[in-house]
Amino acid sequence: MPKLRLDKFLKDQGIASRSEARELIRKGSVSVNDVIVKNPGTHVNTDEDIINVKGEQVEYRQFVYYMLNKPKGVITATEDKTLKTVLDLFPDEIRRRGVFPVGRLDKDTEGLLLITNDGIFAHNLLSPKKGVKKLYEALLDSFPGEDAIKKFEEGVYIGDNYTALPAKLQYISKDPVRALVEICEGKFHQVKRMFKAVGASVIELKRLRMGNIRLDETLKPGQFRELTPEELCQGDGSSDTLFPKNRKNSTADTPDV
Protein backbone atom coordinates (compact mmCIF):
# COMPACT_ATOMS: atom_id res chain seq x y z
CA MET A 1 0.00 0.00 0.00
CA PRO A 2 1.66 3.29 -1.04
CA LYS A 3 1.59 5.30 2.19
CA LEU A 4 3.05 8.77 2.59
CA ARG A 5 3.10 11.43 5.29
CA LEU A 6 0.51 14.07 4.48
CA ASP A 7 3.01 16.96 4.46
CA LYS A 8 5.30 15.03 2.09
CA PHE A 9 2.33 14.12 -0.10
CA LEU A 10 1.47 17.81 -0.51
CA LYS A 11 5.08 18.76 -1.18
CA ASP A 12 5.56 15.94 -3.72
CA GLN A 13 2.42 17.00 -5.54
CA GLY A 14 3.85 20.50 -5.84
CA ILE A 15 1.14 22.09 -3.67
CA ALA A 16 3.51 23.77 -1.22
CA SER A 17 6.95 23.47 0.31
CA ARG A 18 7.16 20.99 3.18
CA SER A 19 6.98 23.76 5.81
CA GLU A 20 4.12 25.54 4.02
CA ALA A 21 2.32 22.18 3.80
CA ARG A 22 2.62 21.72 7.57
CA GLU A 23 1.21 25.18 8.04
CA LEU A 24 -1.74 24.45 5.73
CA ILE A 25 -2.46 21.21 7.58
CA ARG A 26 -2.22 22.77 11.05
CA LYS A 27 -4.54 25.59 9.96
CA GLY A 28 -7.20 23.02 9.02
CA SER A 29 -7.07 23.58 5.24
CA VAL A 30 -6.53 19.92 4.42
CA SER A 31 -8.98 17.04 4.58
CA VAL A 32 -8.50 13.33 4.09
CA ASN A 33 -11.65 11.50 3.04
CA ASP A 34 -13.73 14.52 4.04
CA VAL A 35 -12.26 14.70 7.55
CA ILE A 36 -10.07 17.71 8.44
CA VAL A 37 -6.67 16.44 9.52
CA LYS A 38 -4.37 18.67 11.57
CA ASN A 39 -1.42 16.38 12.07
CA PRO A 40 1.17 16.73 9.26
CA GLY A 41 2.53 13.29 10.14
CA THR A 42 -0.74 11.54 9.29
CA HIS A 43 -0.11 8.82 6.74
CA VAL A 44 -2.23 8.73 3.62
CA ASN A 45 -2.74 5.97 1.10
CA THR A 46 -2.01 7.50 -2.29
CA ASP A 47 -4.13 4.89 -4.10
CA GLU A 48 -7.26 5.22 -2.01
CA ASP A 49 -7.46 8.35 0.10
CA ILE A 50 -9.10 11.50 -1.20
CA ILE A 51 -7.12 14.56 -0.19
CA ASN A 52 -8.54 18.06 -0.51
CA VAL A 53 -6.75 21.35 0.04
CA LYS A 54 -9.09 24.28 0.64
CA GLY A 55 -11.87 22.17 -0.83
CA GLU A 56 -10.00 21.20 -4.02
CA GLN A 57 -9.04 17.60 -4.61
CA VAL A 58 -5.36 16.86 -5.18
CA GLU A 59 -4.84 14.14 -7.80
CA TYR A 60 -1.84 11.98 -6.96
CA ARG A 61 0.82 11.62 -9.61
CA GLN A 62 4.12 10.09 -8.66
CA PHE A 63 5.94 10.78 -11.92
CA VAL A 64 5.88 13.74 -14.26
CA TYR A 65 7.52 14.13 -17.68
CA TYR A 66 8.19 17.31 -19.63
CA MET A 67 9.89 18.29 -22.84
CA LEU A 68 11.70 21.60 -22.72
CA ASN A 69 12.96 23.51 -25.71
CA LYS A 70 16.17 24.48 -23.97
CA PRO A 71 17.30 27.99 -24.89
CA LYS A 72 20.93 28.98 -25.31
CA GLY A 73 22.54 30.56 -22.27
CA VAL A 74 21.13 28.35 -19.52
CA ILE A 75 23.03 25.48 -17.99
CA THR A 76 21.78 21.92 -17.65
CA ALA A 77 21.81 21.64 -13.88
CA THR A 78 19.25 21.59 -11.09
CA GLU A 79 20.73 24.59 -9.28
CA ASP A 80 23.61 27.01 -9.51
CA LYS A 81 24.65 29.97 -7.38
CA THR A 82 25.25 32.33 -10.29
CA LEU A 83 24.09 30.87 -13.59
CA LYS A 84 20.53 30.34 -14.76
CA THR A 85 19.64 26.65 -14.90
CA VAL A 86 17.06 24.79 -16.97
CA LEU A 87 15.01 24.25 -13.80
CA ASP A 88 14.79 28.01 -13.32
CA LEU A 89 12.47 27.90 -16.35
CA PHE A 90 9.96 25.79 -14.39
CA PRO A 91 7.56 27.06 -11.73
CA ASP A 92 7.89 26.02 -8.08
CA GLU A 93 4.92 23.60 -8.30
CA ILE A 94 6.88 21.49 -10.76
CA ARG A 95 10.33 21.92 -9.19
CA ARG A 96 8.99 20.76 -5.81
CA ARG A 97 8.28 17.40 -7.38
CA GLY A 98 12.01 16.72 -7.49
CA VAL A 99 12.43 16.94 -11.25
CA PHE A 100 15.82 16.84 -12.98
CA PRO A 101 17.12 16.98 -16.56
CA VAL A 102 17.61 13.72 -18.44
CA GLY A 103 21.21 14.05 -19.60
CA ARG A 104 22.97 17.23 -20.50
CA LEU A 105 23.13 19.85 -23.22
CA ASP A 106 25.92 22.43 -23.35
CA LYS A 107 25.13 25.99 -22.28
CA ASP A 108 25.16 27.14 -25.91
CA THR A 109 23.12 24.18 -27.22
CA GLU A 110 19.38 24.46 -27.64
CA GLY A 111 16.56 22.05 -28.28
CA LEU A 112 15.03 18.96 -26.77
CA LEU A 113 15.71 18.33 -23.10
CA LEU A 114 13.53 15.97 -21.10
CA ILE A 115 12.74 16.80 -17.50
CA THR A 116 11.31 14.23 -15.11
CA ASN A 117 11.35 12.90 -11.56
CA ASP A 118 11.38 9.30 -12.79
CA GLY A 119 14.84 7.82 -12.36
CA ILE A 120 14.07 4.63 -14.27
CA PHE A 121 12.79 6.56 -17.27
CA ALA A 122 15.97 8.67 -17.24
CA HIS A 123 18.16 5.60 -16.89
CA ASN A 124 16.47 3.92 -19.85
CA LEU A 125 17.31 6.93 -22.00
CA LEU A 126 20.83 7.48 -20.76
CA SER A 127 22.29 4.05 -20.13
CA PRO A 128 25.13 3.41 -22.61
CA LYS A 129 23.84 -0.18 -22.85
CA LYS A 130 20.60 1.07 -24.39
CA GLY A 131 22.38 3.15 -27.05
CA VAL A 132 19.41 5.49 -27.44
CA LYS A 133 19.79 7.59 -30.59
CA LYS A 134 19.96 11.37 -30.42
CA LEU A 135 19.51 13.60 -33.44
CA TYR A 136 21.12 17.04 -33.68
CA GLU A 137 21.14 19.80 -36.23
CA ALA A 138 24.43 21.66 -36.49
CA LEU A 139 25.44 24.89 -38.18
CA LEU A 140 29.12 24.61 -39.14
CA ASP A 141 31.79 27.20 -39.92
CA SER A 142 33.02 25.26 -42.97
CA PHE A 143 32.22 22.25 -45.12
CA PRO A 144 34.03 19.16 -43.79
CA GLY A 145 33.64 17.31 -47.12
CA GLU A 146 31.53 14.39 -48.35
CA ASP A 147 34.06 11.94 -46.93
CA ALA A 148 33.12 13.08 -43.41
CA ILE A 149 29.93 11.01 -43.88
CA LYS A 150 32.03 7.86 -44.20
CA LYS A 151 34.33 8.91 -41.37
CA PHE A 152 31.34 9.40 -39.05
CA GLU A 153 30.01 6.00 -40.15
CA GLU A 154 33.31 4.37 -39.26
CA GLY A 155 33.70 6.27 -35.98
CA VAL A 156 35.95 9.32 -35.60
CA TYR A 157 38.66 9.72 -32.98
CA ILE A 158 37.58 12.57 -30.67
CA GLY A 159 40.57 12.68 -28.34
CA ASP A 160 41.13 11.41 -24.80
CA ASN A 161 41.81 7.93 -26.16
CA TYR A 162 38.28 7.65 -27.45
CA THR A 163 36.86 6.80 -30.85
CA ALA A 164 33.20 7.68 -31.22
CA LEU A 165 30.74 4.93 -32.08
CA PRO A 166 29.46 4.94 -35.67
CA ALA A 167 27.22 7.93 -36.33
CA LYS A 168 25.11 9.16 -39.22
CA LEU A 169 25.84 12.46 -40.93
CA GLN A 170 23.67 14.13 -43.54
CA TYR A 171 24.13 17.58 -45.02
CA ILE A 172 21.05 19.77 -45.26
CA SER A 173 22.71 22.71 -47.03
CA LYS A 174 26.19 23.79 -48.03
CA ASP A 175 25.83 27.56 -47.80
CA PRO A 176 25.49 27.96 -44.90
CA VAL A 177 26.74 24.52 -43.93
CA ARG A 178 23.99 22.74 -42.04
CA ALA A 179 24.02 19.09 -41.13
CA LEU A 180 22.04 16.47 -39.25
CA VAL A 181 23.98 14.09 -37.08
CA GLU A 182 22.66 11.07 -35.22
CA ILE A 183 24.69 9.60 -32.39
CA CYS A 184 23.93 6.81 -29.94
CA GLU A 185 26.10 7.93 -27.02
CA GLY A 186 26.59 11.11 -25.06
CA LYS A 187 30.20 11.96 -24.32
CA PHE A 188 31.13 15.48 -23.18
CA HIS A 189 30.90 17.90 -26.16
CA GLN A 190 30.49 14.86 -28.36
CA VAL A 191 29.05 16.44 -31.51
CA LYS A 192 31.42 19.41 -31.38
CA ARG A 193 34.40 17.07 -30.96
CA MET A 194 33.23 14.86 -33.82
CA PHE A 195 33.06 17.80 -36.22
CA LYS A 196 36.40 19.08 -34.96
CA ALA A 197 37.83 15.69 -35.90
CA VAL A 198 36.80 16.28 -39.51
CA GLY A 199 38.01 19.90 -39.58
CA ALA A 200 34.86 21.96 -38.87
CA SER A 201 33.63 23.95 -35.90
CA VAL A 202 30.07 23.90 -34.65
CA ILE A 203 28.60 27.40 -34.53
CA GLU A 204 25.10 26.39 -33.43
CA LEU A 205 23.74 23.10 -32.16
CA LYS A 206 20.16 22.02 -31.57
CA ARG A 207 18.86 18.65 -30.38
CA LEU A 208 15.83 17.53 -32.37
CA ARG A 209 15.16 14.02 -31.08
CA MET A 210 15.98 11.64 -28.25
CA GLY A 211 14.93 8.05 -28.87
CA ASN A 212 11.66 8.52 -30.69
CA ILE A 213 10.70 11.66 -28.80
CA ARG A 214 10.89 14.62 -31.13
CA LEU A 215 11.17 18.26 -30.16
CA ASP A 216 7.78 19.92 -30.51
CA GLU A 217 8.74 22.78 -32.81
CA THR A 218 5.77 24.83 -31.60
CA LEU A 219 7.65 25.29 -28.32
CA LYS A 220 9.68 28.48 -28.37
CA PRO A 221 13.10 28.36 -26.68
CA GLY A 222 12.43 28.35 -22.93
CA GLN A 223 8.94 26.83 -23.26
CA PHE A 224 7.99 23.35 -22.10
CA ARG A 225 5.04 21.00 -22.09
CA GLU A 226 4.16 17.60 -20.65
CA LEU A 227 4.91 14.53 -22.73
CA THR A 228 1.86 12.92 -24.25
CA PRO A 229 0.95 9.29 -23.44
CA GLU A 230 2.05 8.37 -26.97
CA GLU A 231 5.45 9.98 -26.50
CA LEU A 232 5.89 8.15 -23.21
CA CYS A 233 5.09 4.82 -24.82
CA GLN A 234 7.28 5.28 -27.83
CA GLY A 235 10.22 3.02 -28.22
CA ASP A 236 13.77 4.24 -28.18
CA GLY A 237 14.30 3.29 -31.79
CA SER A 238 15.08 -0.31 -30.91
CA SER A 239 12.54 -2.86 -29.79
CA ASP A 240 12.65 -1.74 -26.15
CA THR A 241 10.21 0.84 -24.91
CA LEU A 242 11.42 3.78 -22.89
CA PHE A 243 8.62 3.44 -20.49
CA PRO A 244 7.61 0.11 -18.97
CA LYS A 245 3.97 -0.31 -19.90
CA ASN A 246 2.64 -1.17 -16.49
CA ARG A 247 4.35 1.60 -14.47
CA LYS A 248 1.70 3.20 -12.30
CA ASN A 249 1.11 6.82 -11.50
CA SER A 250 2.58 8.34 -14.59
CA THR A 251 1.56 11.82 -15.70
CA ALA A 252 -0.50 10.21 -18.35
CA ASP A 253 -1.85 6.69 -18.40
CA THR A 254 0.07 4.62 -20.88
CA PRO A 255 -2.32 3.25 -23.48
CA ASP A 256 -2.33 -0.47 -24.25
CA VAL A 257 -0.70 -0.64 -27.61
Q: Which residues are catalytic?
A: 106
Nearest to 248 by CA among 66, 114, 120, 130: 120
CA distances from residue 253 to 89, 181, 211, 257 in whole angstroms, order as listed: 26, 33, 20, 12
Nearer to ligand URA, 37 or 191 (CB): 191
- Could you tell me how many residues make up the chain? 257
Which residues, 6+ apart, have CB-to-CB distance to 239 below 8 Å? none
| Structural Rg of the chain based on CA atoms | 22
**What are the backbone angles phi and psi of residue 126, rounded to the nearest 5°?**
-105, -20
Which lies closer to ligand URA via its Cβ, residue 11 or residue 134?
A: 134
| Contacts of residue 132, Cβ cutoff 8 Å, sequence gap at least 6 | 124, 125, 126, 184, 210, 211, 236, 237, 242
Helix (H, G, I), strand (E, B) or coil at 78: coil
The residues binding ligand URA (CB under 6 A) are 105-106, 109, 189-192, 205
